[in-house]
Structures are given as structure tokens and as C-alpha cells.
């Protein structure tokens, strides 16, 4: 018996080589995926290892013995060689197990020319019993394209050294990932750094690369739109999940409007689910000497607006619920009625995992959402979720809260300061 091992890119390549080397009587004993090539163990390509054998000594040209060529019968294998779950090669029943030795020889049709194999049906037909699943040609091609894309993203301006080897880019990548920026965004940013360096013929130093990253992040985050509550806004709605600090944030902004802008302010709360929530806002209302109305359903809103008709600005505090559930968002949307110009602020905590932020924002974006406000900046050293959220949803930023003191610990979000924190605080 002749046994040969082939390492190929796809099964059609293997079939052609086996047919040429071993002839039509060859059987495939085993197939499995392996990885080969690459640089320092990275970016290796997927290959397929195929073990094939034939029961008779066949010339190198792939010619069969005269008996096999004449009758098309399968030569009887040697008694001491029984391949494990072998496959008949070149037939429509390519995936079936080979017949037991005691059965009579079967007719063996001529093997057709090997054509490109496409589709899941062709992959299933080429799958032997007990063998490792072999991907269709299209999937193998897409895998190679993805690997090539990853490799291109990690080439330096010379095109011969990977960015991961460059200590400057490697450190910047680690720094951005520690700040929990999206890995795909990190790759895009660093690729642009390399392109800029190549275009300008600049040396890729840490200072130059950091400056390039700052420019990119500023272009992504900075906006000329007004972050604060507009002067002609009549109602400011504050929505968001539980525990993000909506009530405290409202108190801070209300104090700013009363003390700094001298506007007459009123409160409406629909947070009747949380124990002492109404009492908390009532305490702030007493301190600021502003009226407070409690609503239990959308039907109570008109009454509340009528009671606060003399106010210049009304802050509406909504109940914190599990807003990953779209049903709760729909219920809340019924409360966001306007009696004049309004703004809706989505309040999110910077200590929340980005995956949860993403789900919450996705549900709220189906309704009216004007700005996003971040809280608890003082409770985290990771700021990348802000960049991810703004980039993915295109939200307009507003305020950022960095403590519990009323009214001091709140300010308009400063993108330049945030970028410096991302690049500097990420240092190890």
C-alpha cells in the first residue's frame, strides 16, 4: 500500500493531486485543518492535511494496473492493512465508509476532472464519516481575505515589519485597549497613524503617534452643537436605567439654572417605583424653593403642566427601570409628552459595561433622544465607552458628572480633556 500526505489550501486541490499521484483507486484515510506559515506564530494560514492511500503500487503518472483499468474493479487490499473509516475516492458516494473486506468488489466509475467545488452541498458531499469538517471553498477564501486584511492593518509604512513589533504602536494599542475602546476602532486608529507617518515621511515616535491619535479622536468627538440646556427649552426629560444618578443630576442642573441663569424652575417626577424617590426630589425642591408635581400615569401630565405653567423650565425625573427591555422603553415614551419645546437626556453611568450601554441606547434611540449625559466619572479610570457610544450611535454629548456634590460636581463634557485622559490615564 502506498500512503501519501498532502498539505493543500482546499479539498479540490487535494483531489486533483491524489488523482494524479495515486490514481482512481485511491482512498482518503483522514483530513484535518492545520495552520502553517506566519511570522513568530502570528498570521499563519489555515491549510488542510489530507492522508491518502492506494492498495496497489501505482506509477508516478497515476496510471492504473491493466486489470483495474479494464474492469474498473477495486483491487483487494492486503489483509494486514485496514484503514480506519476510509473513503472511496471520486464517486458520488464519496462520504460513505468503504465496504467491508468480505463483500465482493464493486464497479468503480471513471473519476471526472476535478472542478471548483462550491456551496454547502459540495462541502457535505466531500465530508467523510468521522473526518474533520472541511469548510467550503468560499469560506476558506473569506478566511484568507480576513487574515490578509488583519495583516495589512498591522504593517508599518515600510510594509515589511508588523505594527505589533513596533514598540510605540504596541504600547499605544495596549493603552487604548486598557481604556476599553473597541478593538476594531483601535486597529483603524493605528492604521491611520501609520498612513499619516508614511505620507509625511515622519519618524514614528510616541509623541508623533499620540498627536496623530488626538487629531483623529477630536475629529470623531468634537461638535460645535450646544451641549447645555437651550435657553428656549421648556421641558427637560431625563431617562435612563436604575442607579445612574438621574435625580441627583437633575438637582445639580436645576441649581445651575436657578442660581446662574435666574430661571424659574419646576420639578415633575414619575419615579413612584423606587422607595423614597419622591422624597429625595422633594428635599432638593425644598432647598431650591421650587415646586414639585408627582404623576402616576400619562393622564396626570396635563394637570402637572397646568400647575407649573408659570415655570420657565420644567425638569422631569422618570423612573429607573430595566431599559434593556424594550417594553419598558415604550411605556416610558408615553410620559415624554411635550408642552412646549423639550429636550430628552439619556443618563448613563460610566461604570456600566459598554455592552449594557449599547443595549440601553439601542432601545432608546428608537424614540426621541436629543443628548447623552454621563455620570460617575469619578468612580472609574476607563473612559473608552464614551468614545464607543458616540461613534456608534452619533449622539450629541452634553454634561458629565464627576461626584455627588450639588451643584458643583457637573460640567459640560470637554472632549479635549477626555482624549487626554484616554491617552494619559491608559499608561501603565
By CB atoms closer than 10 A (0-12, 13-18, 19+), residue 93 is exposed
Tell me which DSSP letter residue 380 carries: -
pLDDT, residue 418, reads 93
Helices (H) and strands (E) in the chain, counts: 14, 12
pLDDT, residue 326, reads 66
- Delimiting residues of CATH 3.40.50.300 domain(s) in the chain: 235-425
pLDDT, residue 376, reads 93
**How far apart are the C-alpha atoms of 351 and 235, rounded to whole Å?**
28
pLDDT, residue 162, reads 43
- Fold for domain 235-425? Rossmann fold (3.40.50)
Which 3 state secondary structure label does DSSP give 180? coil
Which 3 state secondary structure label does DSSP give 110? coil
Q: Which residues contact 396 (CB under 8 A, 6 or more apart)?
A: 223, 225, 227, 370, 371, 372
Residues 204, 166: contact at Cβ < 8 Å? yes
Strand bridging mode 27-36 / 45-54: antiparallel
pLDDT, residue 125, reads 46
Neighbouring C-beta atoms of residue 63, cutoff 10 Å: 12
First-to-last C-alpha distance (Å) of the chain:
61
Q: How far is CA 298 from the centre of its chain?
A: 38
Nearest to 12 by CA among 50, 64, 54: 50
**How far apart are the C-alpha atoms of 163 and 169, rounded to whole Å?**
6
Per-residue pLDDT of the chain (428 residues; tens, 9 = 90+): 788 888 888 888 888 888 888 887 788 888 888 877 666 556 667 788 888 888 765 444 444 444 444 444 444 444 444 444 444 444 444 444 444 444 444 433 444 444 444 444 444 444 554 444 555 677 777 777 877 777 666 554 444 444 445 888 999 999 999 999 999 999 999 999 989 988 888 888 899 999 999 999 999 998 888 899 998 999 999 988 888 989 899 999 999 999 999 999 999 988 766 666 788 888 989 999 999 999 887 888 889 999 999 999 999 988 776 666 666 666 677 777 666 788 999 999 999 999 999 988 988 887 788 899 999 999 999 999 999 999 999 889 999 999 888 888 899 999 999 999 999 854 54
pLDDT, residue 117, reads 44
Residues 218, 226: contact at Cβ < 8 Å? no
Residues 26, 53: contact at Cβ < 8 Å? yes
**How far apart are the C-alpha atoms of 246 and 347, rounded to whole Å?**
7
**How far apart are the C-alpha atoms of 220 and 214, rounded to whole Å?**
10
pLDDT, residue 79, reads 40
Query: In Å, how far are 30, 239, 352, 353, 400 from 360, measured between CA atoms?
Result: 49, 11, 11, 11, 18
Query: In Å, how far are 285, 314, 375 from 389, measured between CA atoms?
Result: 33, 28, 14
By CB atoms closer than 10 A (0-12, 13-18, 19+), residue 395 is buried
Q: Which residues contact 209 (CB under 8 A, 6 or more apart)?
A: 168, 169, 172, 193, 197
pLDDT, residue 322, reads 66
**How far apart are the C-alpha atoms of 121 and 124, rounded to whole Å?**
5
Amino acid at each position: 500500500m502506498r500512503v501519501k500526505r498532502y498539505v493543500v489550501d482546499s479539498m479540490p486541490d487535494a483531489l486533483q493531486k491524489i488523482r494524479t499521484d495515486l490514481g482512481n483507486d485511491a482512498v482518503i484515510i483522514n483530513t484535518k485543518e492545520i495552520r502553517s506559515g506566519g511570522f513568530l506564530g502570528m498570521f499563519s494560514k489555515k491549510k488542510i492535511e489530507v492522508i491518502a492511500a492506494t492498495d496497489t503500487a501505482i506509477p508516478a503518472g497515476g496510471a492504473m494496473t491493466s486489470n483495474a483499468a479494464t474492469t474498473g474493479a477495486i483491487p483487494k487490499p492486503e489483509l494486514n492493512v485496514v484503514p480506519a473509516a476510509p473513503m472511496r475516492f471520486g464517486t458520488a458516494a464519496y462520504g460513505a465508509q468503504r465496504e467491508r473486506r468480505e463483500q465482493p468488489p464493486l464497479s468503480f466509475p471513471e473519476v471526472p476532472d476535478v472542478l471548483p467545488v462550491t456551496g454547502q452541498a459540495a462541502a457535505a458531499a466531500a465530508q467523510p464519516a468521522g473526518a474533520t469538517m472541511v469548510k467550503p471553498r468560499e469560506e476558506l477564501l473569506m478566511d484568507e481575505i480576513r487574515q490578509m486584511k488583519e495583516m495589512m492593518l498591522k504593517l508599518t509604512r515600510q510594509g515589511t515589519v508588523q505594527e505589533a513589533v513596533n514598540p510605540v504602536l504596541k504600547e499605544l494599542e495596549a493603552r487604548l485597549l486598557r481604556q476599553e475602546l473597541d478593538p476594531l476602532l483601535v486597529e483603524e486608529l493605528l492604521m491611520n497613524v501609520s498612513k499619516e507617518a508614511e505620507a509625511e515621511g515622519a519618524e514614528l515616535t510616541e509623541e508623533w503617534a499620540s498627536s496623530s491619535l488626538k487629531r483623529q479622536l477630536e475629529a470623531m468627538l468634537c461638535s460645535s452643537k450646544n451641549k447645555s440646556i437651550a435657553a428656549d427649552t421648556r421641558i427637560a426629560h431625563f431617562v435612563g436605567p436604575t442607579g445612574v444618578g438621574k435625580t441627583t443630576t437633575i438637582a445639580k442642573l436645576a441649581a445651575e439654572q436657578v442660581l446662574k441663569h435666574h430661571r424659574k424652575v419646576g420639578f415633575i417626577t414619575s419615579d413612584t417605583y423606587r422607595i423614597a424617590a419622591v422624597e429625595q426630589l422633594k428635599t432638593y425642591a425644598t432647598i431650591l424653593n421650587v415646586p414639585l408635581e408627582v404623576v402616576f400615569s400619562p393622564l396626570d401630565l396635563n394637570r402637572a403642566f397646568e400647575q407649573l405653567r408659570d415655570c420657565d423650565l420644567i425638569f422631569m425625573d422618570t423612573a429607573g427601570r430595566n431599559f434593556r427591555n424594550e417594553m419598558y422603553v415604550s411605556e416610558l415614551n408615553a410620559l415624554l409628552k411635550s408642552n412646549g419645546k423639550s429636550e430628552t437626556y439619556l443618563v448613563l453611568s460610566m461604570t456600566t459595561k459598554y455592552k449594557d450601554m449599547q443595549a440601553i441606547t439601542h432601545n432608546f434611540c428608537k424614540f426621541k433622544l436629543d443628548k447623552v449625559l454621563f455620570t460617575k466619572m469619578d468612580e472609574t479610570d476607563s473612559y473608552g465607552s464614551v468614545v464607543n457610544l458616540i461613534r456608534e450611535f452619533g449622539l450629541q454629548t452634553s454634561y458629565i458628572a464627576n461626584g455627588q456634590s450639588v451643584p458643583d460636581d457637573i460640567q459640560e463634557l470637554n472632549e479635549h480633556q477626555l482624549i487626554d485622559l484616554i491617552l494619559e490615564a491608559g499608561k501603565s
